[in-house]
Every structure is written in C-alpha cells, then in structure tokens.
Amino acid sequence: MTAFDANWSLMTPEIVLAALALLVFTIDFMTGIHGKKPFIGRLSVLSLLVTAVLVVVTNSTSGSIAEVFVVDPFAMVFKLIILIGVAMVILISMNFLDRERNAEVYQGEYYSIMLFAALGAMIMVSSADLITLFIGLEILSISSYVLAGFKKYSRPSTEAAIKYVVLGGTASAFILYGMSFLYGLTGSTSLLEIGQAVPMLFEEYTFVVMMSFLFMLAGFGFKISIVPFHMWAPDVYEGAPTPVTAFLSVVSKLAGFGIILRVFFLGFGGVFQEWAFIIAVIAAITMIAGNFIALTQTNVKRLMAYSGIAQAGYLLVPVATVIGDVGINMIVFYSVAYLMMTLGAFAVITLVTEDTGTSDLSSFAGLYQRAPYLAIAMTVFLVSLAGLPLTAGFIGKAYIFFGAVAGEMLWLAIIMIVTSVISFFYYFGFIKQMFMTDPRPNDKELAVSGSMQTVVTVSLAVTVILGILPGLVLDIFNTFNWMAFF
C-alpha cells in the first residue's frame, strides 16, 4: 500500500490533536509571556474533548492503515481513557500553575507538551508495527521527561528529569534491542507477521525469541514501573510537579499497559504458555514489594509511587492468567477504575501539599475540619485503591481475582488478597491524619477551585457508581470483539 492508497481518515483524531497542540502553543506565544491565561488551559481541555468525540466517531469500526496503524475497540477505549486522563490532569494543573512561581511564563509550553504526550500515547495503543510503536513511545517519553523537569528552578525537579532521561533512554535501548531480534528472525516489523511466525521460530530459535521477549519486557517494565524496573519511580514522582506525578502514575502507566497487550498478545501470543509464568512471578513480586515498601513511607508522593507500583502488579495478573477477550475485559475495567480513583486522590494531594508547602503525610492533619468534602472523597479513593467493597477498585480486583483462579494460578490470587489487606494499613495513615488529628496551628479552611472541584466530583461519582453498578461499563465491554487485531 502506498501513502496515496492509505485511509488516512483513521488517523483523524491524532492529526487533529497534533494541530490543536500546535495551536495552543501558538496562541500562547502570540498573547505574550506575562500574565495568567486560564483560557489556554480551557482550550487544551476542549481540544482533548474534541479529540475524544473524533475517536468515538472514527474508531467505532475496525480498520487499519497497511496493518501498521489499527483502529479497533481496544484502541478506542484506551484512547478515551488516555484523553480523559490527560484532561483531568490539565484541570489539576490549572490550579497548580496559578500558585506556582513564574509558571505563567511557561504555561503554553506545559499544556502543549501535555497534548503531545497524549498524542504519543494514542499512537502507541493503535500501533501494530514496531516502528510506529516506538515513534509513539518516544513522543510520550520525551514529553514526560520535559514535564518532570518543568520546575527548572527546583533542584528536586531537575534531578527527577535527569534520572528519568537517563533511565528512560536505557529502557528504550532495551526495547530496541529486543525488537532487533524479532526483525532479524522474521524480516518484518509488523506485529501481525511476527505473531504468525513466532510459534514456528520458537521451536528452532527458542533462546533468541525468549531473549527478545525479556529485553522488551525489561524496557516496557520500566515504563510501567514494575519490579525490578521500578527504582526510578519514587525519586521522579517526588521531584516532579504533583500534576505531572499524577500523569506519570496514571496516564503514562496505562498507555504502557496498552502497548504491552498489543506486543505480547499479538506478537508473542502464539507462545503464551512459555512466558505466562514469568509475568505471573513479576506480578507477584511487584505486588509484594510495592505494598511492603509503601508501609515505610511518610512522603505522600513517594507513598503513592509505591502504591502505583503495587497497582501495576494487579494489572499484570490478567496478562499472565488469561489471554483473549476476558483478560482484556479485566484490564480495561480496572484501568478505568484506577484512572478515576488515582486522579481523584492526586487532585486532593495537589490541593493539600500546595497549600501546606510540604509533601509530608502530616500535611493531611485535620483535613476533615478544613475541607469535609475533600476528606470524605479522599477516603473513598483510598478504600477503592485498597479494594474494599462498594467501590470500583473492589469490583476490578474481584474480577481479576476470579480470572487468576480460573487460570489455575490460585497462589497468585492469594497474593492479591494478602497484599490488598496490607495496603489498607498505609492508606489508613491518610485517614487517621484527616479524621483523627487536629489541624496544625496555621492551617486554615482549604479553598477549592472550580477545576479541582470538577475532577474530585467526577472521580468520586465514577468510583462509587462503578462499585455499585459495574454492569454499566461491563455490559458495554462485553459487546466488543477485543481480539479483532490480536
């Protein structure tokens, strides 16, 4: 297929988002470098909503551009998750940029880079070719490096960006090295062709195929911060601006899971039994290490970093236990739940830490007396992350648990339960501070902006509704043929 024959309309959302990102940057440049410009943030959110509508319209039926860029229900749902997540991060950022010193000078760059990060993530989840995949991955990665160092006058932020660049570049090298093995064996970069060839090649070149898988697992493992590729996360999360931490913890991580499903199910699905146990072991270690290390943390952002590592372990369980529509259903539902409960929690964390000027857990002291609604909402988000009943987190973990049992990995299901119980102990540290500790002498009533109120309310509503009526989403997901391009 030549470029003239390709159905480029399938890329309409990506093309429009790229144009709107450039428009946001241009408008900011043309309106001067001084003064607050809340309309830039609103325009960015509008750009994401327009792109989301285009995704629903153009991705509702399956299709592809030369089997390199594919649109199917999987791509559509993950793109919507990414776009909604970035929109919520921008709403959180609007409050952050209003308070941050000299931030108004760089707000146009901040918002446009956030839009380009969303663009890279969208390209990733629609990729059925190693080259397209890597292009999307690097657009997202480079944008993330810049965002991590956004507070360039802050030493922790600069340190976080440098660590992220060095380790992220190393992870990308691992991914490329793994890809080179596949290309050398198959002579193709198409995941569809690779997936057809791998079962036969595995019999003759077992070591090379497994080396390719392990190198790519190490690279992608860094992107989603699973053990033992997680060491960067606490330092980067702590040093980066809090809204960027939310972005890395949720949007970037879920985009990484989207591409892991594409590569492992499409490229290596024919030898699933050969690598499933490796993923199961990594999932178990990730859940155990993330939750146990989180118990020792007193810095809120580092605690949430280890919490995110543990959550990545839960998301890995269905990758190891079930291949097919059921497995993808589990991951997608928990991704939606994780998006809402984590971004809601980070919205509250941003408000509290920016108001108190510290990221210590003690900054939440007496929050119920200062902002009752925020304290109650934060409690719901925390119990959902812990997997307690009547929350979306509980339904998602229960779904994954039964999948692990059905996949004959009872030991992994037991580890899920035990580590979920452990997680409640460090989440209870927040609750204890909010409800059982008096506010500090200088703490006043916490003012909440409209954008923050929107994020908290939407996140709270979805977390509770999906915990009570999960069928609202699951019934829709069950109608999708997730494996159309797998």
pLDDT one-digit tens code per residue, 266-325: 888 888 888 989 999 999 999 999 999 999 988 999 999 999 999 999 999 988 887 666
Sequence-distant (≥ 6) Cβ neighbours of residue 447 within 8 angstroms: none
Q: Is residue 6 in a domain?
A: no
pLDDT average, residue stretch 206-230: 91
Predicted pLDDT at 445: 78
Examine the pLDDT at 25 and tell me if it is beyond 90: no
Element (H, E) at 65: strand 63-65
Please count the other Cβ atoms lying within 10 Å of the Cβ belonging to residue 326. Answer: 17
pLDDT one-digit tens code per residue, 55-78: 998 877 777 777 788 888 888 999
pLDDT one-digit tens code per residue, 110-164: 889 999 999 999 999 988 899 999 999 999 999 999 988 887 777 888 888 888 9
Element (H, E) at 70: strand 69-71
pLDDT average, residue stretch 403-421: 90
| CB-based contact 146:25 (threshold 8 Å) | no
Please count the other Cβ atoms lying within 10 Å of the Cβ belonging to residue 403. Answer: 22
pLDDT one-digit tens code per residue, 177-212: 999 999 999 998 888 899 899 999 998 899 999 999
φ, ψ of residue 387 in degrees (nearest 5): 85, 35
Q: Is residue 18 in a domain?
A: no
Q: Is residue 316 in a domain?
A: yes
Q: Is residue 164 in a domain?
A: no
Q: Is residue 209 in a domain?
A: no
Q: Is residue 349 in a domain?
A: yes
Predicted pLDDT at 138: 92
Query: Is the alpha carbon torsion for 247, 251, 257, 258 positive or negative?
Result: negative
pLDDT one-digit tens code per residue, 426-439: 999 889 988 988 88
320: domain range? 272-481
Tell me what the pLDDT averaged over the chain comes to: 87
Alpha-carbon span 262 to 71, nearest angstrom: 12
Identify the weakest region by mean pLDDT among 24-38, 191-205, 263-277, 340-354.
24-38
Predicted pLDDT at 37: 67
Predicted pLDDT at 347: 92
Q: Which amino acid is at 113?
A: I
| CB-based contact 309:224 (threshold 8 Å) | no
| CB-based contact 118:48 (threshold 8 Å) | yes
Alpha-carbon span 37 to 28, nearest angstrom: 8
Structure tokens at 175: 């991914």
> How many domains does one find in the chain?
1
Q: Is residue 238 in a domain?
A: no
| CB-based contact 305:359 (threshold 8 Å) | no
pLDDT average, residue stretch 86-98: 87
Q: Is residue 35 in a domain?
A: no
pLDDT average, residue stretch 228-241: 88
Per cent of the chain over pLDDT 90 is 47
Predicted pLDDT at 334: 92
Per cent of the chain over pLDDT 70 is 94
**Residue whose tokens read 């500090």:** 440
